[in-house]
């Protein structure tokens, strides 16, 4: 073992033992060199190795910190076993009731799916919009119709290529947020009555789309750490006709699970063997806490069966509604569907995002954003552990800003939701993440907002959970 | 007969005889007073009366002109009689093939449905976007989610109220262009297999939506002057179950027909008796050449069965994709459908339009736009009459920028389309305006672009039509 590997292993052990808590700053290179008598490059190599392992993270101009995800404790989160039958979905009303109630400005947005809007370069985007629109010739308007502005599609393709992911600009269709792409994809590859395989728990927007298009949902067991269970999926594919899968292999909503690359590759191959399209929701991929962007399932797509959807809504421009879909063999049908229903993402939004990207400060923004979200998530996890009743378990995602909590047995998240709402706190109760409202003791909280908004709300939620526990005891 | 009525009747007769051609400037009030020895107010009252009748139009700072529509010759345009059976629709491929071919920048856009982008205050909109986005607080982003920015919805409602049309801001949902609203409306009020009544010829986007949602189309005879035939519609309603009507009572695409107010009222009452929703596409209403905005069918809606769709795409901000729907009793379902699929029109687009509207120069822009379009249409009609083979008939709409031509018997518009495309001219052949491709001797031309683009193209089209006639003789 080289010296830097040895040093890295020592630190990794301290992290695993809990002696170095998430969020702790590691000694600076200079301090460590002085203390240990090793070279600066040895220290630096150790820290980089730890960073690649996802145990620490670099923050610009600040140093290295123990990552929020460094002590994975999510594995012990019980995996609820779904049934093996596809079922009709009637969850949409509940989603609107629950999330609509919390949409008011004076409700702490822990139930929301949007990160804090303070995190985004809105001023720079406004300038980019102004500059772009000033330069726009009237004739250029038609170039923004689906498939969308060619330069913007090229910028998006370029980002994939830099990350070593094969994706051609001409496969990309700009959409009104990822949600339009996801819904359009589902519409294109299914007929009413078809069965769609989803994660369990699943993002409620997938459930709503399935309900709206009169499809059936088949839940597949999903691990909070590694994502959808491929054996369970293989069994399901062998057993019944599945028209499509709608999955989030990277930072799944709500679990935050991240499928390792090898599993993504296996997933794509498995579906290709069965000729089943994969609708991949990849909107959180840029919000990784590790050292590099997790590869999408699309990176392993050789048959054009992966319909890969993403957007700038979670990482750059919330509300701008600029997303995209790389729909493989369905690219033309997708483009036509967008043309027939919304025609395009709006010219000012496409223009603003394009001009911002061409400026070249997106990566700097993303580095800051990831560091901020990791810090916020860390603080949220610590607060939850301190404030919630004993027996509460919480995920430790390696990216994003959503946490999934399992309350001690017997506590009902819908009752917590109701109590919280009376105190002007929104949460997303587990009921809305499954066709049969099964995750009744779970909830999703958004920790992507400012700490002074999130942490007091989490403490208050903890108190309410304690009260609930006492009253139901 | 009062003096001013007498004078108005004299002028009307001159117009009817063709002694005063469309586009001719009437004597100024001062000239007429001097020449006829009548008071200025008499002249003015006459001109206003003629304007109300749609025979002349006022142009700001310029005077009164004989309107393009003053000599309606559209009545003799043969009304093709559709069958009485609902039919499946398979026109979408043809629409994409025909319109897609003409989307290139070097093809004269006479087949397009967009007016010339030079007509719009794009610079002012860019400034409005910049100002609005600068002032936007991050927290305000969530206020733009469907149903949309409350101030924008209020501005839209205000415009209806000023025109004496009852429409509440809280009924309005902002959509990604009218097209999203229209598609969403159709989806909300139908089930696959249902029959939808449409005009004949119909806007191809309606046909595409019907095809996509697996519905059937029932064409209703439509008059180029007065719109859909209410007797035929009443017969159809009596005979069979119709799930919805999708109509354009004002400046129908492609005919340009305008239902008189009384007929709109009757239409709404007829549908209300049968409990059938009306999806009203009202996107051209602001582009009237007469003295006031034609009232929408929605103005007569007492049961909430009218789903009224419009947008700023044709009259202010093409490409911004800001439209709206006032969906009556379906308002909540509409809002939820938008939330589930695109969530909202984009923040920069909503912000730009809102800030532009609040500045107060929209009406001035509209007056100029209407005058320009009337002039362009006039010139186009004259050019068509001079250039096309004898026996060609052309509509004389009272607003908008679309003309519908019927070629002499035996000439096929698809062949004209193919010949035109070889000379880099786009048109919309009649085939795409009907489920059975029936209007094969008709075409739609867009005369809303600059005269130096449209008129030479029309002359060339005329030459091609002559050639076609010779070769098929």
Q: Residue A16 has what pLDDT?
A: 60
CB B227 within 8 A of CB B199: yes
Helices A362-387 and A451-472, axial angle in degrees (round to 10): 30
Beta-carbon contacts of residue B17 (< 8 Å; ≥ 6 apart): none
| Number of C-beta neighbours around residue B438 at 10 A | 18
Higher per-residue pLDDT: A83 or B235: B235
Strand, helix or coil at A401?
coil
Q: Is B78 on the interface with A (CB under 8 A)?
A: no
CB A129 within 8 A of CB B130: yes
Residues 199-228 of A with CB under 8 A from B: 205, 208-209, 212
Find, among B199, B221, B254, the residue nearest to B429 by Cα: B254
Q: Is A319 on the interface with B (CB under 8 A)?
A: yes
Strand, helix or coil at A174?
strand
DSSP code for B305: -
Pairing of the two strands A216-223 and B428-429: unpaired
What's the gap in Å between the CA of A450 and the closest CA on chain B?
A: 12
> Taking residues A49-73, what's their average pLDDT?
73
Element at B51 (helix H, strand E): helix B40-52
- Dig out the tokens for B324 from the structure: 């709206």
Q: Is A44 on the interface with B (CB under 8 A)?
A: no
Q: Residue A75 has what pLDDT?
A: 42
Q: Residue A18 has what pLDDT?
A: 64
pLDDT digit string (tens) for chain B, length 473 residues = 577 777 876 777 677 656 788 888 888 888 888 887 888 888 888 888 777 666 788 887 788 888 776 554 444 565 667 888 888 888 888 899 888 877 787 899 999 998 998 899 999 999 999 999 998 888 888 889 999 999 999 999 999 998 889 888 999 999 999 999 999 999 999 999 999 999 999 999 999 999 999 999 999 999 999 999 999 999 999 999 999 999 999 999 999 999 999 999 999 999 999 999 999 999 999 999 988 899 999 999 999 999 999 999 999 999 999 999 999 999 999 999 999 999 999 999 999 999 999 999 999 999 999 999 998 998 999 999 999 999 999 999 999 999 999 999 889 999 999 999 999 999 999 999 999 888 999 999 999 999 999 999 999 999 999 999 999 87
Q: Residue B390: is it exposed, middle or buried by C-beta count within 10 angstroms (0-12/13-18/19+)?
A: exposed
For residue B176, give the chain A residue with the closest CA: A342
Find, among B252, B122, B182, B244, the residue nearest to A342 by Cα: B182
pLDDT in tens, A209-265: 999 999 999 999 999 999 999 999 999 999 999 999 999 999 999 999 999 999 999
Q: Which long-range contacts (CB under 8 A, 24 or more apart) does B148-155 make?
A: B148/B172, B148/B173, B148/B174, B148/B324, B148/B344, B148/B345, B148/B350, B149/B174, B149/B350, B149/B351, B149/B354, B151/B354, B151/B358, B152/B322, B152/B350, B152/B353, B152/B354, B152/B357, B153/B324, B155/B354, B155/B357, B155/B358
Q: Residue B1 has what pLDDT?
A: 53
Residues 103-132 of A with CB under 8 A from B: 103, 105, 112, 114, 116-118, 120, 122-123, 125-127, 129-130
| Number of C-beta neighbours around residue B293 at 10 A | 20
ipTM: 0.85
Beta-carbon contacts of residue A262 (< 8 Å; ≥ 6 apart): none
What's the gap in Å between the CA of B127 and the closest CA on chain A?
A: 7
Find, among A220, A216, A218, A219, the residue nearest to A194 by Cα: A216
In sign, the C-alpha dihedral spanning B228, B232, B238, B239 is negative
> Taking residues A268-295, what's their average pLDDT?
96
Q: Residue A139 has what pLDDT?
A: 80
Strand, helix or coil at A389?
coil
Residue of B321, B331, B354, B450 to mutate for A, most A C-beta atoms under 10 A: B321
For residue A108, give the chain B residue with the closest CA: B139
Q: Is A186 on the interface with B (CB under 8 A)?
A: no
Q: Which of A118, A209, A347 sits opposite B138 (nearest CB)?
A: A118
CB < 8 Å to B130, chain A: 126-127, 129-130, 133
Q: Is B58 on the interface with A (CB under 8 A)?
A: no
What's the gap in Å between the CA of B341 and the closest CA on chain A?
A: 5
CA angle at A442 for the pair A178 and A54, rounded to the nearest 5° = 65
Beta-carbon contacts of residue B24 (< 8 Å; ≥ 6 apart): B65, B66
Q: Is B188 on the interface with A (CB under 8 A)?
A: no
Q: Residue A275 has what pLDDT?
A: 98
pLDDT in tens, B274-294: 999 999 999 999 999 988 899
* pLDDT bucket at A74, cuts 50 / 70 / 90: very low
Q: Residue A55 has what pLDDT?
A: 76
What's the gap in Å between the CA of A139 and the closest CA on chain B?
A: 7
DSSP code for B87: B
CB < 8 Å to A116, chain B: 138
Q: Residue A443 has what pLDDT?
A: 97
CB B395 within 8 A of CB B404: yes
Report how far residue B125's alpha carbon sits from residue B346's, in angstroms, rounded to the nearest whole number. 15
Find, among A77, A69, A377, A82, the residue nearest to A201 by Cα: A82
What's the gap in Å between the CA of B142 and the closest CA on chain A?
A: 7
Q: Residue A63 has what pLDDT?
A: 87
Report how far residue B275's alpha carbon sits from residue B244's, in angstroms, rounded to the nearest whole number. 9
For residue A127, give the chain B residue with the closest CA: B130
Report how far residue B441's alpha carbon sits from residue B438's, in angstroms, rounded to the nearest whole number. 8
Q: Is B141 on the interface with A (CB under 8 A)?
A: yes
Q: Residue A59 has what pLDDT?
A: 84
Domains of chain A listed by start with CATH number = 3-66 (1.10.10.10), 90-116+364-472 (3.90.1150.10), 119-362 (3.40.640.10)
Q: Residue A72 has what pLDDT?
A: 46
Find, among A399, A344, A421, the residue nearest to A143 by Cα: A344
| Full strand arrangement of the beta sheet holding A172-175 | A172-175, A323-326, A306-311, A278-281, A244-247, A195-200, A216-223, A227-228
Phi, psi (rounded to 5 degrees) for B199: -75, 165
What's the gap in Å between the CA of A416 and the closest CA on chain B?
A: 24
């Amino acid at each position: 073992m080289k010296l830097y590997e040895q040093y890295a292993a020592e630190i990794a052990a301290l992290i695993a033992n809990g002696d170095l808590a998430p969020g702790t700053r590691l000694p600076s290179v200079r301090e460590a060199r002085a203390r240990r008598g090793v070279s600066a490059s040895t220290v630096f190599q150790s820290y980089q190795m730890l960073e690649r392992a996802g145990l620490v993270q670099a923050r610009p101009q600040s140093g290295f910190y123990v990552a929020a995800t460094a002590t994975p404790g999510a594995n012990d989160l019980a995996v609820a076993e779904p049934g093996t039958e596809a079922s009709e979905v009637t969850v949409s009303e509940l989603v609107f009731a629950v999330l609509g109630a919390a949409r008011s400005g004076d409700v702490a947005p822990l139930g929301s799916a949007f990160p804090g809007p303070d995190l985004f370069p809105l001023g720079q985007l406004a300038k980019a919009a102004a500059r772009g629109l000033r330069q726009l010739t009237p004739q250029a308007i038609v170039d923004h119709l689906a498939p969308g502005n060619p330069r913007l599609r090229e910028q998006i393709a370029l980002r994939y290529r830099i990350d070593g992911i094969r994706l051609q600009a001409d496969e990309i269709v700009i959409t009104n947020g990822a949600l339009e792409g996801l819904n359009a994809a589902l519409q294109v590859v299914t007929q009413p009555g078809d069965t769609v395989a989803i994660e369990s728990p699943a993002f409620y927007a997938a459930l709503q789309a399935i309900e709206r298009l009169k499809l059936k949902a088949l839940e597949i067991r999903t691990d909070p750490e590694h994502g959808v269970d491929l054996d369970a999926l293989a069994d399901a594919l062998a057993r019944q006709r599945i028209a499509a899968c709608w999955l989030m292999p990277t930072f799944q909503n709500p679990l935050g699970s991240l499928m390792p690359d090898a599993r993504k590759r296996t997933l794509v191959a498995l579906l290709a063997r069965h000729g089943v399209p994969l609708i991949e929701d990849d909107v959180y991929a840029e919000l990784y806490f590790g050292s590099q962007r997790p590869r999408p399932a699309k990176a392993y797509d050789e048959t054009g069966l992966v319909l890969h959807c993403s957007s700038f809504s979670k990482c750059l421009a919330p509300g701008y509604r600029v997303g995209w879909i790389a729909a493989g063999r369905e690219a033309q049908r997708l483009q036509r569907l967008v043309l027939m229903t919304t025609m395009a993402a709006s010219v000012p939004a496409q223009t603003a995002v394009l001009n911002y990207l061409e400026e070249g400060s997106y990566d700097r923004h993303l580095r800051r954003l990831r560091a901020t979200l990791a810090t916020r998530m860390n603080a949220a996890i610590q607060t939850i552990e301190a404030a919630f009743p004993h027996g509460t378990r919480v995920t430790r995602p390696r990216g994003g800003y959503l946490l999934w909590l399992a309350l001690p047995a017997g506590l009902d998240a819908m009752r917590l939701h109701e109590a919280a709402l009376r105190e002007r706190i929104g949460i997303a109760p587990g009921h809305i993440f499954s066709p049969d409202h099964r995750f009744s003791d779970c909830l999703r909280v958004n920790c992507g907002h400012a700490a002074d908004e999130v942490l007091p709300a989490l403490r208050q939620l903890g108190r309410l959970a304690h009260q609930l526990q006492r009253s139901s005891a």
